[in-house]
Structure formats: structure tokens, C-alpha cells
């Protein structure tokens, strides 16, 4: 991991045993907590609002505004809860894993400060089932925090109590969606709830007000309290403040997790941070924000990596999972791979998603098997319109399903076909791919995530 000039989240990168409390404390862990517990809880929320930090789980909703929805003081009629979303199941995304493995105490400190701010006395970390090792790391770190008096009753003599528990999911993408996550946490099937009325801050876990934030969002909180919201807001770009963890996978020489100021140019990320495209190949495309986001063609990649710039470019920063593809990549393969994933992960609650995702996947499989018909391309686009529509509203309409999994499968499908239609047409007409995979090329050994294209 190189070139990280500003380190908020990866400040302990390279420090041996940084996951252990004594090591973490030597490097400043829990000092923000001591400061926070002396502040009014509303002042903490104000700092988070001033920082401008936007949610790092995908939608980019301003965290301070969300915290402000929680009923506190006289408005509090039921217990409040804090739930940290560590589901991280979006293909291409592995940055929360880095934080949990390397700096679990920064996350725990962030959770305690957050809970104090929103008057919650019980908090959960909901972690995906596959993150078994990471769940153990968190459990051990929580045990250490209890032993030091940072969790439990009367934290550091402040009168504030907090119980923190790790809850493991069973390995379902849908349980990253916040209301499905809450159902799963309650022991129910992971079906998303209808919003409204089930906005978590109003009706969340156990029907009580619940703040749900991503791991990375919460991990920023100690730094914001220590240094002030103003200092945070000066990093990055207006409306896109702070740094962002980007997990880069695919055809670059140095895949990995990088902390960059929001607004870093995508080509700078690829060339200067990630060592360029493997074996001197040419860049073909990038999915900039996890597999559910529309692909950018190489000529569209001179773009800033932030919420607004990527939205203007017709894609999204999403979860910060950057999937880089070189010119050996067959886009029909990519599309099939993605659709198989979304078909498998559809929870089945909404008909368009339950029926549409497998239907699209079957059509792509047919094309890939050399039995595609020219009319299949329009049919896939048509089904995608009915399932989730396009990110720029140009096809179909959004919101046909209870949660955004419908969009998650449709957006990348429509973008891949719109931008690489010649490859789909060639396959249907000639019954073989336009781009044949070069099996002699090896993916770099330190590639962490499987690239969707291979
Ligand atoms: C299908 C689906 C999957 C999601 N998966 C995740 C996930 O794995 N991790 C995450 O933090 N947010 C995920 N989200 C977004 C959450 O619903 C929610 O917006 C987020 O946890 C809020 O945290 P933030 O405001 O800090 O970003 C997903 C959303 C959808 C629709």
C-alpha cells in the first residue's frame, strides 16, 4: 500500500499486531473516546455533521444527518440501537475486511462514540458469515475493550453504559441491505422491509430506533472527534469530504486496499497507486464502485473518484470496489458472471427480481454457449428495464423492487450491453466471442479478490 499521503483509516498500516489493544493504544486508540465522553452528545453529532462525512456503504447519505434522525433526549420513547453493517458482500469490495483485521479498535472506539451520541446502550456488528476469521478478531478485540473499561457499565466513569455484540450472518448478499440485515439480526429470514414505514431510525431492530452505518463510516468517527469536523471537511472535495478506502482488484499490477482523498483521479489510482495494467496490457474498462455499478469505458476513466463526479459520469462510487479490466476481457463473460451472482442472491421476495435475474442469466448463458439469437440482446435489455431500469432513468423506472437489488443487477447489465454492444452482437451472430481469453496471462499472485472478468 503506497502513496497514501493522508491516513485516517490506514494510520496503523504496517504496524505489527495493530489489532491488539495495547499496540493500538500506543498509537492513539481510545483517546478520542476520552474526549467524546466529556462532550455533550449533541456536540458530537454536530462535529459529524460539520465533517460532511457521507456513508461509505454505498448510497453516500450524509452520516450526521442520519444521526440527527435518531430520537434523543425528550424525543426518546424506546431504547435506541446502533448496528454496524459489516456484511461487505458486494463483489470487488474488501475494504471493511482490512479495517476489521488491522484496526478493530478504531471501529470499536467509533461505535462507542456513536452510541454515546445517539443514546444507544446496545450495539451490534453484523458481519457476513464468510468473515469467520474477522469475526474472531472482532470478538477478541471487544473482550480486550471490556477488560480496559471501554465497554460495559459506567465507561471510564462517565455514567454511560454500552454492550457490544458481534452477530454473524449466514452468507447472504441481501443481508447487507440494512432492513434485511435487521430482520436477520432478529432471527428472521433476511427479507428487506418496505420503506416507508421501516426506516431504521424510526422503526429498526426490535421495532426500535436504530442507526445503521457501514464499518468505514463509523471508523472515521474517532478521527473526526480528535481533529474536529472542520479538519475532516478540508480533506477531499466539497460535498465529498474525507478519504476513501478503495479495494482494487482485477488486471492491475498491485491490487489491494488504498486510502485516498475523495476526488483522486481514477487513472492516477490505476497508474500511480496500483502500478498500471498487468503485463503492459491496455485498459479496457473499470467498474468503479462494486459490481452493481455501471461500467466505465477506458476513455471515461479520466474521472474523479468521488460521489458526485462518478454520478455525473453515469456510474457511482458505491462501495469503493474498483474492478479493473484489460483488453483481454470478454464483456459477455463479465455480464454472465454478474447476472449469475445476482440471480443467486435475489432473496425472492419481489417478482421482478426473483424471476428477472435468472431469466437474464439464462439468456446470457445461452449467448455464451453459442446458441444466442440476435433478438436476445433487446430481450435482456427489456427484462433489465422491468427489474431495475437504468441509473440515468433512460430505460424503465427505478424502484420496482422493495430494495435496490433489482437495480444492482440491472444497472451493470444495461451499461455493459449499451457500451459493448458489438461484443454481444458478434457472439449472437457468430456463436463465438469477439474477445477470446488469453489463458497464458496470469493474474498477479497478490490479487485479493477474484475479478469478475476472469
Ligand atoms: C442489495 C444491497 C446490499 C447492500 N450491501 C451492503 C453491505 O454489504 N455493506 C454496507 O455497508 N451496506 C450495504 N448496503 C447499503 C445498506 O443498505 C445501507 O445503506 C448502509 O449500510 C448504510 O450505511 P452508511 O450510511 O454508513 O453507508 C446494501 C444495499 C443493498 C440494496
14-59 confidence digits (pLDDT tens): 999 999 999 999 999 999 999 999 999 999 999 999 999 999 999 9
Which of ligand 1's atoms lies nearest the C-alpha of 180?
Answer: 17
Q: Inform me whether the pLDDT recorded for 451 exceeds 50.
A: no
405 touches ligand 1 (CB under 6 Å): yes
Average of pLDDT values for 307-335?
96
User: Taken in order 192, 198, 202, 208, is the CA torsion positive or negative?
Assistant: negative
Kindly report the backbone phi and psi dihedral angles of residue 403, in degrees, each rounded to the nearest multiple of 5, phi listed first: -120, 180
Q: Which of 22-31, 334-343, 351-360, 396-405 has the lowest mean pLDDT?
A: 396-405
pLDDT at 391: 79
- Rounded to whole angstroms, how far apart are CA atoms 411 and 211? 28
- Rounded to whole angstroms, how far apart are CA atoms 303 and 419? 17
Q: Inform me whether the pLDDT recorded for 162 exceeds 70.
A: yes
Q: Which residues contact 91 (CB under 8 A, 6 or more apart)?
A: 290, 291, 321, 323, 338, 341, 449, 452
122-153 confidence digits (pLDDT tens): 999 999 999 999 999 999 999 999 999 999 99
Q: Is 121 exposed, middle or buried (0-12, 13-18, 19+ CB in 10 A)?
A: middle
Give start and end residues of each alpha helix (H) in 103-197.
104-117, 132-147, 178-185
Per-residue cell: 187: 432471527
Tell me the best of 53, 81, 85 to mutate to test the pocket of ligand 1, counting ligand atoms within 8 Å of each CB and taking the most: 85
Residue whose CA is closest, atom 7 of ligand 1? 176
pLDDT at 406: 94
What domains can be seen in the chain, in order of their start residue?
A: 21-233 (3.40.50.11540), 242-326 (3.10.20.600), 331-430 (1.20.1440.230)
- Please tell me the distance between residue 195's alpha carbon and the centre of ligand 1 in angstroms: 14
404 touches ligand 1 (CB under 6 Å): yes
- Please tell me the distance between residue 328's alpha carbon and the centre of ligand 1 in angstroms: 32
- Please tell me the distance between residue 291's alpha carbon and the centre of ligand 1 in angstroms: 13
Per-residue cell: 452: 469478475
The percent of residues in the chain predicted with pLDDT above 90, rounded, is: 90
Which of ligand 1's atoms lies nearest the C-alpha of 90?
Answer: 8
Average of pLDDT values for 345-351?
97
Q: Inform me whether the pLDDT recorded for 437 exceeds 90.
A: no
Q: What is the DSSP letter of 152?
A: B
Which of ligand 1's atoms lies nearest the C-alpha of 179?
Answer: 17
Kindly report the backbone phi and psi dihedral angles of residue 31, in degrees, each rounded to the nearest multiple of 5, phi listed first: -75, -30
Q: Which residues is 123 bridged to in the sheet?
A: 82, 164
Q: Share the mean pLDDT of the chain.
A: 94
Which of ligand 1's atoms lies nearest the C-alpha of 89?
Answer: 8
346 touches ligand 1 (CB under 6 Å): no
85 touches ligand 1 (CB under 6 Å): yes
166 touches ligand 1 (CB under 6 Å): no
Produce one character per residue of 198-216: b if its CB has 16 or more CB atoms within 10 Å, e if not.
bbbbbbbbeebbbbbbbbb
pLDDT at 180: 98
Residue whose CA is closest, atom 31 of ligand 1? 404
Contact 204, 184 (CB under 8 A): no
Q: Inform me whether the pLDDT recorded for 245 exceeds 70.
A: yes
57-112 confidence digits (pLDDT tens): 999 999 999 999 999 999 999 999 999 999 999 999 999 999 999 999 999 999 99
Tell me the best of 52, 56, 57 to mutate to test the pocket of ligand 1, counting ligand atoms within 8 Å of each CB and taking the most: 57
- DSSP states of 361-374 as a string? HHHHHHHHTT---T
- At residue 450 the predicted structure's pLDDT band, cuts being 50, 70 and 90, is very low
pLDDT at 241: 98
Average of pLDDT values for 295-324?
97
Q: What is the DSSP letter of 62?
A: B
Q: Inform me whether the pLDDT recorded for 223 exceeds 60.
A: yes
Between β-strands 243-250 and 240-241, what pairing exists: parallel, antiparallel or unpaired? unpaired
Residue whose CA is closest, atom 22 of ligand 1? 213
Q: Which residues contact 135 (CB under 8 A, 6 or more apart)?
A: 127, 166, 168
pLDDT at 445: 52
Which of ligand 1's atoms lies nearest the C-alpha of 403?
Answer: 31
Per-residue cell: 441: 496471462
pLDDT at 366: 95
pLDDT at 9: 98
89 touches ligand 1 (CB under 6 Å): yes
350-363 confidence digits (pLDDT tens): 999 999 999 999 99
212 touches ligand 1 (CB under 6 Å): yes
User: What Å distances lie between residue 169 and 12, 128, 203, 399, 440, CA to CA?
Assistant: 28, 5, 21, 26, 38
90 touches ligand 1 (CB under 6 Å): yes
pTM over 0.85: yes
Which of ligand 1's atoms lies nearest the C-alpha of 181?
Answer: 17
- Rounded to whole angstroms, how far apart are CA atoms 24 and 105? 7
- Rounded to whole angstroms, how far apart are CA atoms 99 and 96? 5
Tell me the best of 52, 96, 175, 176 to mutate to test the pocket of ligand 1, counting ligand atoms within 8 Å of each CB and taking the most: 176
- Choose among 191, 197, 220: nearest CA to 209: 197
Amino acid at each position: 500500500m503506497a502513496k497514501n499521503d493522508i491516513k485516517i483509516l490506514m494510520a496503523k498500516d504496517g504496524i505489527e499486531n495493530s489489532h491488539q489493544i495495547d499496540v493500538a493504544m500506543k498509537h492513539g486508540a481510545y483517546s478520542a473516546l476520552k474526549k467524546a465522553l466529556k462532550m455533550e452528545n449533541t456536540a458530537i453529532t454536530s462535529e459529524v455533521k460539520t465533517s460532511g462525512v457521507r456513508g461509505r456503504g454505498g448510497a453516500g447519505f450524509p452520516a450526521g444527518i442520519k444521526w440527527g434522525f435518531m430520537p434523543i433526549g425528550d424525543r426518546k420513547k424506546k431504547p435506541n440501537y446502533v448496528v454496524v453493517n459489516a456484511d461487505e458482500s458486494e463483489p470487488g469490495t474488501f475494504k471493511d475486511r482490512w479495517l476489521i483485521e488491522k484496526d478493530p479498535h478504531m471501529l470499536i472506539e467509533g461505535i462507542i462514540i456513536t452510541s454515546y451520541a445517539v443514546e444507544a446502550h446496545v450495539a451490534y456488528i453484523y458481519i457476513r458469515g464468510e468473515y469467520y476469521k474477522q469475526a474472531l478478531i472482532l470478538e477478541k478485540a471487544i473482550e480486550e475493550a471490556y477488560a480496559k473499561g471501554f465497554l460495559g457499565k459506567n465507561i471510564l466513569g462517565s455514567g454511560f453504559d454500552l454492550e457490544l455484540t458481534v452477530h454473524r450472518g449466514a452468507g447472504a448478499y441481501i443481508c447487507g441491505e440494512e432492513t434485511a440485515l435487521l430482520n436477520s439480526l432478529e432471527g428472521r429470514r433476511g427479507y428487506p422491509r418496505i420503506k416507508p414505514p421501516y426506516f431504521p431510525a424510526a422503526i429498526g431492530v426490535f421495532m426500535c430506533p436504530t442507526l445503521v452505518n457501514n464499518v468505514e463510516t463509523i471508523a472515521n468517527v474517532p478521527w473526526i472527534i480528535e481533529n474536529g469536523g472542520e479538519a475532516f471537511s478540508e480533506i477531499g472535495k466539497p460535498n465529498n469530504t474525507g478519504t476513501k478506502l478503495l479495494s482494487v482488484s482485477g488486471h492491475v499490477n498491485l491490487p489491494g486496499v488504498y486510502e485516498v482523498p475523495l476526488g483522486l483521479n481514477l487513472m492516477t489510482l490505476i497508474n500511480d497507486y496500483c502500478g498500471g495494467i498487468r503485463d503492459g496490457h491496455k485498459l479496457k474498462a473499470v467498474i468503479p464502485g462494486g459490481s452493481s455499478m455501471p461500467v466505465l469505458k477506458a476513455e471515461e476513466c479520466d474521472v474523479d473518484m468521488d460521489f458526485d463526479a462518478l454520478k455525473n459520469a453515469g456510474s457511482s462510487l458505491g462501495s469503493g470496489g474498483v474492478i479493473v479490466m484489460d483488453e483481454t476481457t470478454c464483456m459477455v463473460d463479465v455480464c454472465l458472471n454478474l447476472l449469475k451472482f445476482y440471480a443467486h442472491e435475489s432473496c425472492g421476495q419481489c417478482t421482478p427480481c426473483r424471476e428477472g435475474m435468472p431469466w437474464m442469466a439464462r439468456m446470457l448463458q445461452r449467448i455464451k454457449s453459442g446458441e444466442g439469437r440476435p433478438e436476445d440482446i433487446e430481450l435482456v435489455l427489456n427484462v433489465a428495464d422491468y427489474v431495475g431500469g437504468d441509473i440515468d432513468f433512460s430505460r424503465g423506472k427505478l424502484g420496482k423492487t422493495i430494495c435496490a437489488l433489482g437495480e444492482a443487477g440491472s444497472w451493470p447489465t444495461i451499461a455493459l450491453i449499451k457500451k459493448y454492444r458489438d461484443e454481444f452482437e458478434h457472439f449472437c451472430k457468430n456463436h463465438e466471442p469477439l474477445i477470446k481469453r488469453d489463458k497464458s496471462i496470469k493474474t498477479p499472485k497478490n490479487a485479493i479478490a477474484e475479478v469478475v472478468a476472469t
